[in-house]
Copies of this chain bind each other. A is one copy, B any other.
Amino acid sequence: METPISASASEQERQLFIKMALSAWNTQNDRVTKLLDTLSDEQMMGETAPQRNRGIYLLGHLITVSDGLLPLLGLGQRLYPQLEAVFLTSPDSKNNDGPSVGELRKYWTEINNLLSDHFNRMTPEMWFSKHNSVSAEDFAKEPHRNKLNIIINRANHTSYHLGQLVYLGKK
């Protein structure tokens, strides 16, 4: 009787690829967290550059985009649906009507912890299944539009805004 060597190799490679994609995602989030630890609430209220988004807006934006992964990946409903109107579908209002920097720091930790818990339990089959913004028909033609692909692209989104948030720190 032959052992399924090829299937086993495939499974190992899937695990390896998932590890690569999740590592990139975690790395970018960890860099944001480390930066936040060095920035005061006052610094976060400032603009990242003249007439550009404030730190508080970019943090709220990253939180609500990460929060949106819950429904997109079939993991549940958003924790903070009230943030969408302030930080996703509207530009930076430059006023202080929304949550405080302190509240957003708490949300940032919460959503990252919740996503990590989910991600650590997801099987390779789940990662390579379709996400909820692609139809079954399109997914059949474009199998790269899976859940793991979302994570690869969202890591780049986080990195993009991290490059802006660092401008709040010391020169």
Q: A109 an interface residue at 8 Å Cβ cutoff?
A: no
Oligomeric state, in copies? 2
Most buried by B among A4, A148, A149: A149
1/0 contact string of A86-102 vs chain B (CB within 8 Å): 00000000000000000
Shortest C-beta distance, A91 to chain B (Å), equals: 11
Q: What residues of B have a CB within 8 angstroms of the CB of A52 in the complex? A: 49, 167, 171
Compute how far the CA of A127 lies from the CA of B161 in the bound complex, rounded to whole angstroms. Answer: 29
A39 within 8 A of B: no
Q: Does A164 contact B (CB under 8 A)?
A: yes
A50 neighbours in B (Cβ, 8 Å) = 49-50
A165 shortest CB reach to chain B, Å: 9
Tell whether A126 is near chain B: CB-to-CB under 8 Å. no
Q: A43 at interface (Cβ–Cβ under 8 A)?
A: no
